[in-house]
Amino acid sequence: MRHLLCLFLILGLACNQSAVEKSNDKPSTDAKSDQTVKEKDNMGFNKLTKEEEHIIVNKGTERAFTGEFNNHYAKGLYTCKKCDAVLYRSETKFKSGCGWPSFDDEVSGAVKRVPDADGRRVEIVCNKCDGHLGHVFTGEKFTAKNTRHCVNSLSMSFIPEDKFERAIFASGCFWGTEHHLNKVDGVLAAVSGYIGGTVKNPTYKQICTGTTGHAEAVEVIYDPTKTSFEALAKLYFETHDPTQLNRQGPDIGTQYRSEVFYIGEEQREITLKLIKILKDKGLNVVTKLTEAPQFWDAEGYHQDYYKRKGTLPYCHTYKKKFD
């Protein structure tokens, strides 16, 4: 029944914006990473081909089953073709059989929902550049999240998992931590979220009770050819006070603790080295070091907080600590 429904949607209301649109994509058997140097337009966005512009700017739709990423299930990240913002993680992609790449969740804060003028469907666009992605549908019960982002392949690029690395830092309110780390050249995304607690996929309200054991933290996804874990870790220590226990400035509680959640032995050793340097300088560092468990994205309204507000962090200021 599910595939019959999808067939109906393809013929009728699925991802097609117009029944008379022609195909704007050709079948591809090799989904390519697009992490090369790209030519920019006069607005600072990536230059688009005519086919990409038709989809992303003019809100077109590629023909069903022809997109490069329709049957693509490699591990990695899907990014906006126009501005490179990280949109989807590969683990949220699923096979719907409806002819377009399908995801049941986005990177928190990366995708904006805009109801169509006729009220029949909800468009999804990149939250950074407003580039058209496709439409979002709910209630189809394909996955437990009961949500399907139906996305044009031409709206996206793909970065395989061996082309990026992750780091997770907690240093008080995640708004400030994210603000500083997101400005580093080579950082693909800095996502505010929760880690280290006992509740799966917690909410901010639960975190605020201080009883779940989570820390407010930031997952940094970065290009190791442009920056390094050590550079990010140094900035992390230089933009908060690692001598404060279970607090950062006016924010008090275990959820505001200083903690590095390392991914691999190399990150652990680098963090220990930096902590020793700070202790040798006379700082009583209380930063914890823990192997990273699952990271949960925070709600969308926490993402890019200071950028959206046009203000600066109230308790995360830069202070040089390393020579």
Residues known to be catalytic:
150, 173
CA distances (Å), origin 124, targets 20, 102, 256, 272? 21, 12, 33, 43
Query: What CA–CA distance (Å, rounded) separates 196 from 258?
Result: 12
Helix (H) or strand (E) holding 192: strand 187-195
In 3-state terms the chain splits into helix, strand, coil percentages (rounded to 5) of 25, 25, 50
Residue 140, CA atoms < 13 Å, CB-side half-sphere: 24
Query: What CA–CA distance (Å, rounded) separates 172 from 169?
Result: 10
Q: Among residues 96, 93, 109, which one has the least CA distance to residue 14? A: 96
Please name the residues in contact with 40: beta carbons below 8 A apart, sequence gap of 6 or more: 46, 47
φ, ψ at 267 (rounded to 5°): -65, -40
CA 70 to chain centre: 20
